[in-house]
Structure 1
Amino acid sequence: MRCRRPVARAAAICAAALLALSANAAAKDYAGTALNIIPSGQWGSAGAPPAASEQAEMYDGLTPLFDQVGAADLRRFFKPQTFGTRGQCPCTVERVPRRGVRIVRDRYNVPHITGRNRLDLDWAAGWVLATDRALLMSLGRYPARFAALDAPGVDAFSLVTSLSSVQVTAQADRIIEREQTRALRARGREGRALLRDIDEYVKGINARLRHDGSTQAPWRRVDVYAINALAGQIFGQGGGDETRRSMLLDGLTRKLGAAAGRRVFDDLSQRVDDDTSVTIGKRFPYGAVPKRAPGSAVVDNGSMSPTALAATANATVAHRDMSNFLIVSGRRSTNGHPLFVAGPQIGYFYPGLTLEMDLRAPGIQARGAAMPGGAGNLLIGRGPDFAWSLTSAGSDTNDQFVETLCGGSDAKYLYRGRCRRMGFVDAGTIVGRGAVKYRTTVHGPVLGYATVKGRRVAISFQRSSRGKDILWQLAFKRFTDGRVTGVRSFFAAAATSPFTFNVGYADDRDIAMYSTGLLPIRDRRTDPRLPTIGTGRYEWKGWLPARAHPQVVNPRSGQLVNWNNKPAAGFPSADDNWSQGSTQRNQMLEAGLKQRSKHDLASVTAAMNAAATQDLRVQGTLLDGIGAVLAGSPAPSARSQQLLDLLVRWRAAGASRLDRDLDGLIDAGPAAAIVDELYPRIADKVFESLLGADLTAQLTSLTGRTNGPASGFTGGRINYLDKDLRALTGTRFRSPLGTRFCGSGDLAACRASIWQAFEEAGAALAAARGSEDPAQWTSDATRERIRFAPGLLPTTIRYTNRPSGIQQVITFTGHRRIRR
C-alpha cells in the first residue's frame, strides 16, 4: 500500500491500513507452549492498584507444589507469552500521540505494541516505560551515573532501593556521554542504528512525561547510558577484589610461612577446581596462574586505607548472582523438541526492575521482559521460533592496579617512565552523605591507598566494560529484531556483549549456551588473583576472542543447567569468587532432571521448583562429610545426637524450607533452625583450628559467614568445608586440597570440634526456644517471607529461590525457513 499526503480523515485511514499491514506481516508463532511470570507485575505506581499483586500471587501458588508440578499447574501459575492478545482479554486500547503506533493492554496490563517500523517500537517502548516505571526512572537515573563512572565506595543500586536523593554534575554527564557515544559510533552501522533507537526511545519517554505533566527533567541519552551501566554493575561484571585477597595471602604467609601460606591461598581461591559443577564439559582454559608473577603485588595485610577497604568491599557486594536456566534437548523431551525453563533472579521489587512488552512491526515479532534503558529491546524473551535468557557469569572483567606514587605526593604516580598527575572527578552529591569526588589514573578511579613492603601506593580500579556499557544492547537488538535465526547467529549476537553473562538459547531443535563478556588477556607475568603493578609494563594485551569463550551446542548430556555456577571445565573463577568448588546449588537442579530420562515442561519446572526451597547445606554433600566425620563416635549428649538425626531425616524428606499451610512455621519442624544455628559454628571451628580467629574472620569477610536463604545458598565457605571433611574421611577428589583444615588434619580433633559445634548450637537453641527438647522447637517461616522492596507493595510471598525478573516456560515445535 502506498500513502500520499492526506489530511485528517485520510491520514487516519492510512495509518490504520499501515497498522493492519504490520499486523499481517507478523511472523508465525512456532511455539507449542509459551508461558511466563513476572512476580513484580506490570504496574509500577507509588499507589499500587489491587491488581498489582496478581502475578505475585500466581508465582507464590507454584511454590508449595515442590516437585509435584503437572501440566495443568503451568496454566494456573504462569500466564500466556503468546503474541497478540488472544485469550488474554478483557483488553483496553491506550491512546498515544503518535500515528502508526497502537498499544493494547491485556488483563495483566501487559502492553501489546504494534508499529509501522522499528522506530515506532522504540518510541512506544519509551512511552510504556514512562507509563509503567515513572517512579523507578525518577529514582534510578541519577544514582546510575555513579555506576557508569565506577565512583569509589558508591553502591548505586542501594541508592535506588533506599530512595536516596542524588545530585550529579555536568562533568559526570560529559564523561559518560562522550565515552558511550564514542563506543557506539565505533561500531559502525550497527552502533549508529542503536543510537537512533536510543534517541527515538528518549522521545517516547519524554512524550509520556509531558503528557503526565511530570516535573522530571527530560530524559537524554546519558540517562539511557547510565541505566545500562547500573545493570552491568549489579549483574554483569566480576573480579576487582585483588587487593583484599592479597592482604589475606600476606597474613597467611606471615602466620604459616611462605610455602604453607601460599598453599592455603591456592586452596581458598579455587581458581580452577575440577570437582566443581560446570554447565559445559569441554575445557575452556583462560588466564593461567604463572609460577612467578613479577607483575603482581602483594599488599601488606591491614594496610588498606579505610576508604579503599570500604570501596572494594562495597564493589563486590554490588555484584548479584541469582539466576538459573534448565534447558533440555529434544532427545530427552517427550515432544521431541527442546524444553526451556529459565529466567533472571534480580530480587523482588515494586516497581519491578523489569516490565513486559509484546513488540510487533514488519519483520519484528518478540515478547519478553524489558528494562529501563532498554531502548526498545527485550532483555529476556522469545522470538517466533527461539528463546533466550541470562545468568550472571561473574567472569573476571575487573582488575585492581597498584600505582607507584612519586614526587612525595598522593596525587602523582609513575606510568611508562614518568610521573603523571592524577585526574580528578567531581561526580555529584548524595544527600545526607556528601560529595562524591575522587582521583583517577590511566587505569580508572583511585579507590584509596595501602602499602606494599611498607611503601605507600595507590589502588586504582580498571573495568573492561567502562565507557562501553551501552554496547550491551547490541545483542538484545539482534534478538528483538529477529536477526537471530539459529545457533550461529545466536553466538554472534551474544558475543557483542561487554558484560559477563551465560546466555541460554533454545529453538525447535537446538539448545546452546555462550558465556559473554569483554575478557582481558592479561600479561603472562601477572597472577590474575593479585593486584597488578601499574607502571605500564604489565597492561592488558587485548580481549579473549569469541571462539575461546565457553560455548556449546546440543551437549551429549542432553541438558544445559546453570545457576551461576562455572560455565565450563577449565575456565577460571574470578578473583572475587571463592565459591566455585565441590558443592553447588545447581546440583539440586540436576538431581531433579536425573529423575527422568524424558521430560515435559511440567517436569522440568518441577525440578526448578523443588530446588528453589531446598537447603543446600543439608540436601548437598556437606551433610555426608559431617556424618562421615562423626560416624562411629558417641555424641557428647543425647541432644546433639538428636540434632544430627533430625537433619538426616530432613534430608530424606527433601530438605525443603516450605511453609505449605501458611501457619508461619517451616513444615520440617526444627531442622531448618538447627542448620541455621549450626552451620556457621562448624565453619568457624574448622578454620580457626589452623588459621586462628583473626585470619578466619578475614576470610569470612571475603566469603561470608553463612550459607543460607539470605545468600541464595552461595558462599559462606561451604565448598572448603565440604571438600575438607569428605577428604578427611576418604573421598578422593580430582583437585584435592593441599591443606587439611579441620583439626589440622587429625580426625579425632576434627570430630571433637564438630561435636562441640553441635553442643553449642543445641544450647543456644534451647535457650532461645525455652525448651531442652529439640522435637518441640520450630523454624520461623514468617521472617523468610519475600517482601517487595522498598515497601510500596504490601503483598508478601513464601520463601523461594527462583527467577524473579521473568521466568519463561517454552517449547517450540517449528521454525522459520531461514536457518543458521
Structure 2
Amino acid sequence: MLILFRWLLRLTIGLIVLMVLSAGLIWYFAIRSLPDYTASYRVEGIAAPVEIVRSTENVPHIFGQSDEDVFFALGLAHAQDRLFQMTLLRRAAQGRLAEVQGPRAVAADDLARRLGLYSSARASLDAQDADTRSAMDAYAAGVNQWIGIVNADAMGRGAPEFFLFPDVITFWQPTDSLAILKLLAATGSGAAADEILRARLSLAWPDQGPQIVARAGLPAELPAYDSLFPGARLGAPERRLDPAALRDPFTFLDPGQPIGGNAFAAEPQRTAADASLLANDLHVGLTVPSLFYLARLQLQGGGVIGATVPGLPLVLSGRNPRLSWGVTPLDLDNADIAIEEVQPGNPDRYRGVQGWTRFQTRTEVIRVLDAPARTITLRDTANGPVVPGLDPGLGDVTPIGHVAALRWTGLSRQDTTMSALMGLMRAQSRDQAARTLAGVVAPALNVTLADRSRVTHLTAGAAPRRDPAHPTGGAMPAPGWLAQTGWQGVTPLTAAAERPALGLSLSTDEPATDDLRRDRLTRLLADREVHSRDSFIAAQLDIVSPAARALLPLVGANLWFTGDPAAPGTPERQRQDALTLLAEWDGAMNEHLPEPLIHAAWMAALQDRLIRDELGPMADDITRLHPRFIDAVFRNRDNAARWCNVVQSAATEDCATIARQALDRAILDLTARYGPDVTSWRWGDAHQAVHHHPGLGGLPALGWIMNITQSISGGEFTVARSGLFGAGAEPFQAATGAGFRSVIDLADPDSSVFITSTGQSGHPLSRHYDDLAGLWRRGEYIGMSLDPDLARAASAGITTLTPAN
C-alpha cells in the first residue's frame, strides 16, 4: 500500500509539473506574437524612413515621405494587430474557410465560390486607377513585410490562434483587399433574402402573407407567387432557419444581419460654434476584434483619420483637413433572384429567353479539415450564378425541376468601388468627392459630406434598371426565361449633391418611409435650434424606442389596468404590475429597467400569436419584429385585423384578446426565467452584447476567455441600435451593434471623437484586446488629432521603419 501511495504521489507531482511546463510553454509562444511598438525594423518596400506613432489606445499615427510608404506602414500595422482576422476575412472571400475550420464552414465556402467573389475581385483589379493600384501594392507589401518579420524573428506565427489552426499564412495580394470589399458588399445586401421571404409568405397565405413585410417602394399589388409558375410544383413552406447557425462566429456571409448605420450632420447656422458637425456610426455583427480599426495616415494631400477595415488600404469613415464624411448602407434593391427551368432529361441545359441554353459549368474542390474534400459543380446562367445555398428558405420558392440564379450588381468584373472610396478619402472638396463617388458599384452607400461651411448628402452605387413590365418589380423571384425580368443595364447613382433642408442632414440604412429610427433621429435633431458636439453624442447614444412609443398605446388600448389590485403572487397581479410599469414608461430601452424586457417579450409573443396559425412552422423564421405590420393589424388597415382571428378555433378572436393572451404568455416565459417579481426583471439580463471571437468563440472553454460579454442598453429600433437575434434560447441577445462611432466637430477638428466596440489589437494577451469595450458600453469616446506634435507627445510607442537599402 505504501509503495502504491508513493507511485500515486509521484504521478500526481509529475502531472502537476507537466501542466505547469505546458502552461509556461503556451504562455511563452503566445506572448512571443505580441508586437513591440517601440521596435525599429529595416524593411524592403519603402523609399524613406517611416514612423508609426502609437497613442495610449494603440491608434497608429503613420508619418512617411510618400503616400506609398504610408500605405506600406498601414499594411504592416494592420498585420501587427489583426493578422488572424485578416486571414479569416480573406479565406471567407476565397471560399477556403473549411480548410482550417472543418465541415461547419463548408456551406459558407460553397456560397462564396458560387458567387465568385474572388474571381470577380481578380478581374476588377485592372479597373482600378493608378493611385489605387499603387496604394494596394504598397499595402500588400507592408502586410507581407510583417509576415516576413514574424517568420524571421520566430514571433509566435503572428497570432496565438495560428497554433490552434493548421493555417499556412500566404503572402498578401492586392486582389485580397478587393475580395474583402466584395465580401462586405455581399454581407451588406439583404435584397435577395427579402425577395425570398416575401415569396415564402405569399405561398403561406397569398392574400395577406406579404403584408407582414410590406413597405413603401414596393409594387402596390404583388401577384400570388405560385401564379408566376403555372403548372410547376412548389412544396409547402417549412421552418428553414437554424437559430444556432445565426450565432455561428464562422458565418461571414449572413444576409440576415446586414451592415447598417446612421449618419447625420448640421450646417453652421444650426451649430453653436459656427461650423459644421458630422456624426456617423456603423452597425455590424459583434465580433472580437471589431471589424473596424482606427488609424491616422499622413498623406501628401494632408492627414486622414478615422475608421479602417483590416485588409483594406483606406479610411472608410473619417476626415481630412478640409472634408469629413460619414457613410451608411443605401437601401437599394440591387439584387434579383431568377428562377431557371432545367431542361427535362438534360440537367446541363436551362430555359433561356431564346430557348434551351447550356449552363456554363466548372468544378472546384473545397478542402475540409479532418474530413473528405468536397467537389462542387458551379453553374452560371445569363442571369448570374446558380446559388442553391444563398438562403435557407430558397428551397421553398424554387419549383421542382428548377434552380435559382442571382443577379447582383456586386458581381461586376469591372468594379471600381475601391478606387472611388480611395478618392473619397483623398478628396479636398465636396465636388471632388461627388465626382469620385461615381465609381461606387457595391455596396451602395449614403454618403454625408461636411466641410466647415456646408453639408451635402449623396447616394452612390449601381442601381439596376428593370423593365416596367417586370411581373414583380424585383420584389419576389421571377422566371428567368422571361425577357421582361432581365435587367436593362445599371445606372450609377451619382445624382447632384443634395443640400439639407433647414441645415440638417441625416441618413440611415432603412427606407425613409418605413424607418422608425429615422423618425426618432429627425425629432432629436429638430428639437434643438443649435447643436454642439455633445448634443450630437447624445443623439447618437439615444436609447428611446419609437416602436415602443408607437405600439404600446395602440396594442394596450383596452388593457390598461384601472381596477383594484389582484392578490399578490397571482398571474393577474403580474399582468397588472406589468401594465402599470409600461403605462408610466417613456420608451427608453435602459438595461437597468424591467419595462424594455416586458415590452420586447410582449411584442414578440404578440407577433408570433398573430402569424402562427396562418404560417405554421414558417413563423419560426420571422425572427425580427415588424412594427409596421402590428400597427396595420391593430388599425385594421387593408383588412389586416383578420390576422387576429385564430382560424383553428371555433370562437372569433379580436385583437384585444390576442394582445392580452400574448402579454400573459410573455409574463409566463419571463417568470420561468427571471422569477415572479416583475419589478426585479432587467433588460440587461436578457440583452447581452456577446462579441464573438471568429475562430475560438464557439469553443466551450476558450470561448469563455476569448469572447467579450456585456449587458447594454438600446434595441432594434433605437438610434443606438443593437439588433436582436429574435430566435433560439436567447432571443433578446444583441446580434449587431455600433462597431464604430464618430462625432466630428469642424469648428475644432482636433476635439473630434471616435470609438470602436472592442480594442485595436486582436491578440487576446494584449491590453488593447478589450480596452475600448468598456468605453463603448458606457457611451464614451477617445480623441484623435491630426496634429503630429500632439500625437508624438502622447505616444505610447513609436515603431521606426527604415529602408533596407
Asked if these proteins are the same fold (TM beyond 0.5), I'd say: yes
Q: 1:631 to 1:806 in 2, by over 3 A?
A: closer
Q: 1:162 to 1:115 in 2, by over 3 A?
A: farther
Q: 1:167 to 1:209 in 2, by over 3 A?
A: farther
Query: 797, 810, 816: which is aligned to 2:744?
Result: 810
Deviation (angstroms), 1:208: 1.0
Distance in 1 between the 2:521 and 2:606 partners? 26
Q: 1:631 to 1:555 in 2, by over 3 A?
A: same
Deviation (angstroms), 1:292: 11
Is 1:758 the counterpart of 2:663 in the alignment? yes
Deviation (angstroms), 1:290: 8.3
* Contact 1:520–1:544 (8 Å) recurs in 2: yes
1:581-596 to 2 correspondences below 5 Å: 581=514, 584-596=516-528
Deviation (angstroms), 1:474: 1.7
Aligned to 2:456: 512
Aligned to 1:446: 386
Aligned to 1:239: 192
Deviations 1:168-212 (A, max 9, x none): 89x969966653344343x4xx53432332222211111110011
Aligned to 1:180: 121
Aligned to 2:338: 401
The amino acid that maps onto 2:316 is: L
Aligned to 2:712: 799
Deviations 1:498-530 (A, max 9, x none): 112222222112222223322211222221112
Deviation (angstroms), 1:739: 3.0
Deviation (angstroms), 1:296: 5.5
Aligned to 1:277: none
Deviation (angstroms), 1:673: 3.2
Aligned to 1:724: 633
Distance in 2 between the 1:356 and 1:411 partners? 49
Deviation (angstroms), 1:92: 4.9
Aligned to 1:559: 504
Q: Secondary structure at the match of 1:716?
A: coil
Aligned to 2:420: 475
Distance in 2 between the 1:353 and 1:807 partners? 12
Aligned to 1:435: 374
Gaps of 5+ in 2: 1-27, 152-156, 158-167, 389-393, 565-570, 694-702, 715-719, 721-736, 750-805
Aligned to 1:657: 590
Distance in 1 between the 2:99 and 2:686 partners? 21
Aligned to 2:11: none
Deviation (angstroms), 1:536: 6.0
Deviations 1:771-801 (A, max 9, x none): 3x534x3226245343332156565444145
Distance in 2 between the 1:308 and 1:755 partners? 29
Is 1:608 the counterpart of 2:551 in the alignment? no
Q: Secondary structure at the match of 1:719?
A: helix
Q: 1:631 to 1:737 in 2, by over 3 A?
A: farther
Deviation (angstroms), 1:239: 2.9
1:56-95 to 2 correspondences below 5 Å: 92=38, 95=41
What RMSD in Å do the two structures reach over aligned CA positions? 4.3
Aligned to 1:115: 64
Distance in 1 between the 2:387 and 2:375 partners? 12
Aligned to 1:542: 489
Q: 1:177 to 1:200 in 2, by over 3 A?
A: farther
* Contact 1:380–1:390 (8 Å) recurs in 2: yes
Is 1:325 the counterpart of 2:259 in the alignment? no
Deviation (angstroms), 1:674: 2.0
Distance in 1 between the 2:598 and 2:115 partners? 54
Distance in 1 between the 2:529 and 2:642 partners? 40
For these two proteins, the number of residue pairs brought into alignment is: 643
Is 1:648 the counterpart of 2:595 in the alignment? no
Aligned to 1:349: 287
Deviates more, 1:382-391 or 1:432-441: 432-441
Deviation (angstroms), 1:417: 1.9
* Contact 2:581–2:595 (8 Å) recurs in 1: yes
Is 1:456 the counterpart of 2:376 in the alignment? no
Distance in 2 between the 1:265 and 1:167 partners? 30
Deviation (angstroms), 1:388: 1.4
Q: 1:453 to 1:797 in 2, by over 3 A?
A: closer
Q: 1:624 to 1:696 in 2, by over 3 A?
A: farther
Q: 1:774 to 1:503 in 2, by over 3 A?
A: same
Q: 1:308 to 1:319 in 2, by over 3 A?
A: closer
Distance in 2 between the 1:800 and 1:162 partners? 36
* Contact 2:608–2:619 (8 Å) recurs in 1: no
Aligned to 1:75: none
* Contact 1:122–1:204 (8 Å) recurs in 2: yes
Q: Secondary structure at the match of 1:414?
A: strand
Is 1:786 the counterpart of 2:719 in the alignment? no
Aligned to 2:768: none
Percent of aligned pairs with the same residue? 19
* Contact 2:99–2:369 (8 Å) recurs in 1: no
Deviation (angstroms), 1:355: 1.5
1:364-383 to 2 correspondences below 5 Å: 364-374=302-312, 376-383=313-320
Distance in 1 between the 2:109 and 2:630 partners? 46
Q: Secondary structure at the match of 2:283?
A: coil
Deviation (angstroms), 1:167: 12
Deviations 1:326-346 (A, max 9, x none): 322322211222211212122
Q: 1:47 to 1:796 in 2, by over 3 A?
A: farther
Deviations 1:321-369 (A, max 9, x none): 4322232232221122221121212243333322122111322421111
Distance in 2 between the 1:462 and 1:738 partners? 35
Aligned to 2:356: 418
Is 1:218 the counterpart of 2:171 in the alignment? yes
Deviation (angstroms), 1:293: 11
Q: 1:212 to 1:447 in 2, by over 3 A?
A: same
Deviates more, 1:381-390 or 1:531-540: 531-540
Distance in 2 between the 1:762 and 1:617 partners? 20
Aligned to 1:339: 277
Deviation (angstroms), 1:159: 9.4
* Contact 1:497–1:518 (8 Å) recurs in 2: yes
The amino acid that maps onto 2:321 is: P
Aligned to 2:553: 624
* Contact 2:195–2:477 (8 Å) recurs in 1: yes
Q: 1:524 to 1:810 in 2, by over 3 A?
A: same
Query: 473, 477, 490: which is aligned to 1:531?
Result: 477
Aligned to 1:491: 434
Distance in 1 between the 2:670 and 2:225 partners? 49
* Contact 2:688–2:712 (8 Å) recurs in 1: yes
Aligned to 1:302: 235
Q: Secondary structure at the match of 1:524?
A: coil
Is 1:141 the counterpart of 2:90 in the alignment? yes
